[in-house]
């Protein structure tokens, strides 16, 4: 009987979208009198599975933004399949992770990998790298788990040379509780496109927009404008780009900051 129950649980984990699975667990825990889950206790290893929108976002980054000579830092690499995808093009990839169990998994999976050069434990505050260390930074479905998201944004910009690609869920009514909090108990918050755009603009980070559209398991389409079925927000911070007013008429730098060069 225990073997059958274990098999059913494994099938449930493999084929149930995370937002549904967490909702079912929340009802179960409430009926059993268990305390609600705390976001800080989240581990990707609790229910390890490839998330379709994340796979699609890494493929999009690889095909649209990566160059073969690029060095890449993947912030919050999770199960590591994003680094596998990007290693099909970029040849120097480093990952950082706060999840100790995911870190242990990654060290086993990527031992001896020719292009994934290093995995580093991250304290969640300062990225342990010098300024301008990587051509490209990826941060896929991480921002919604982070308390000080402004600090993380500025840290990623600090260590980037060219761009920072971010993905985070689009805040949708069906995934939001009446009190405004996400239905996914592991998410501290979710944003609309307007809300996240305001965050980037307030930090004076020049960026361009990509939107991932479609249901949880695809198929997906990409657009620059919001659609009725937009699933993920995918802004790209243009660190190396400069705005027209960054240089004064005499050719000297003006008081305006270069896009993405904010330092903490």
pLDDT at 41: 75
Of residues 59 and 185, the one with the higher pLDDT is: 59
| Pick from 4-8, 30-34, 41-45, 249-253: least confident | 249-253
Mark whether 71 and 170 lie in a shared domain. Answer: yes
Mark whether 166 and 229 lie in a shared domain. Answer: yes
pLDDT over 60 at 144, yes or no: yes
pLDDT at 25: 55
Give the SS3 label for residue 62: helix
pLDDT at 51: 95
**What does the chain come to in residues?**
264
pLDDT at 253: 37
The token duo for 109 is: 């999976």
Indicate whether this model's pTM tops 0.75.
yes
User: Is residue 251 situated within a structural domain?
Assistant: no
Q: Which of 152, 158, 154, 155 is nearest to 132 (CA)?
A: 158
Of all residues in the chain, the percent with pLDDT exceeding 90 is 66
Return the bridge partners of 238, or none. 163
Mark whether 135 and 180 lie in a shared domain. Answer: yes
Domain count, the chain: 2
User: Is residue 194 situated within a structural domain?
Assistant: yes
Question: 113-117 long-range contacts, Cβ below 8 Å, gap at least 24?
Answer: 113/87, 114/87, 115/87, 115/90, 115/91, 116/80, 116/83, 116/84, 116/87, 117/92, 117/93
pLDDT over 60 at 15, yes or no: no
pLDDT over 90 at 36, yes or no: no
Tally the C-alpha atoms within 13 A of residue 167's C-alpha that lie toward its C-beta: 26
Of residues 244 and 136, the one with the higher pLDDT is: 136
Mark whether 114 and 164 lie in a shared domain. Answer: yes
User: Is residue 252 situated within a structural domain?
Assistant: no
Tally the C-alpha atoms within 13 A of residue 171's C-alpha that lie toward its C-beta: 18
pLDDT tens string 189-243: 999 999 999 999 999 999 999 999 999 999 999 999 999 999 999 999 999 853 4
Domain CATH code at residue 98: 3.40.50.150
Upstream peptide bond of 219 is cis (omega within 30 degrees of 0): yes
User: Is residue 43 situated within a structural domain?
Assistant: no
Task: Name residues whose C-beta falls within 8 Å of residue 101's C-beta, 6 or more positions apart in sequence.
Answer: 43, 44, 45
pLDDT over 60 at 176, yes or no: yes
Sheet holding 207-213, edge to edge: 116-121, 92-97, 71-75, 134-140, 160-169, 230-238, 207-213, 221-223
Mark whether 93 and 27 lie in a shared domain. Answer: no
- Rg value, the chain, Cα: 19
Mark whether 27 and 127 lie in a shared domain. Answer: no
User: Is residue 224 situated within a structural domain?
Assistant: yes
Instruction: State the residue range of the domain holding 8.
Output: 2-33
Mark whether 236 and 114 lie in a shared domain. Answer: yes
């Amino acid at each position: 009987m225990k073997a059958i129950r274990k098999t059913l649980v494994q099938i449930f984990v493999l084929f149930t979208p995370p937002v549904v699975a967490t909702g079912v667990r929340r009802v179960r825990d409430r009926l059993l009198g268990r305390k609600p889950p705390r976001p800080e206790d989240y581990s990707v290893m609790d229910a390890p599975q490839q998330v379709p929108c994340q796979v699609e976002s890494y493929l999009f980054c690889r095909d649209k933004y990566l160059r073969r000579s690029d060095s890449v830092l993947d912030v919050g690499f999770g199960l590591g399949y994003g680094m596998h995808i990007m290693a099909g093009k970029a040849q120097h990839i480093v990952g950082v992770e706060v999840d100790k169990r995911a870190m242990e998994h990654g060290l086993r999976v990527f031992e001896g990998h020719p292009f994934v050069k290093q995995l580093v434990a991250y304290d969640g505050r300062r990225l342990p790298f010098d300024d301008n260390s990587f051509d490209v930074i990826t941060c896929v479905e991480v921002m919604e788990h982070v308390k000080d998201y402004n600090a993380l944004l500025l840290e990623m910009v600090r260590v980037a040379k060219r761009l920072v690609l971010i993905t985070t869920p689009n805040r949708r009514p069906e995934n939001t509780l009446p009190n405004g909090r996400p239905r996914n108990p592991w998410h501290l918050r979710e944003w609309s496109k307007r809300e996240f755009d305001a965050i980037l603009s307030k930090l004076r980070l020049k960026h361009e927009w990509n939107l991932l559209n479609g249901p949880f398991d695809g198929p997906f389409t990409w657009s620059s404008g919001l659609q009725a079925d937009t699933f993920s927000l995918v802004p790209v911070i243009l660190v190396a780009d400069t705005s027209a007013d960054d240089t004064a008429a005499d050719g000297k730098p003006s008081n305006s900051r270069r896009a993405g060069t904010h330092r903490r």
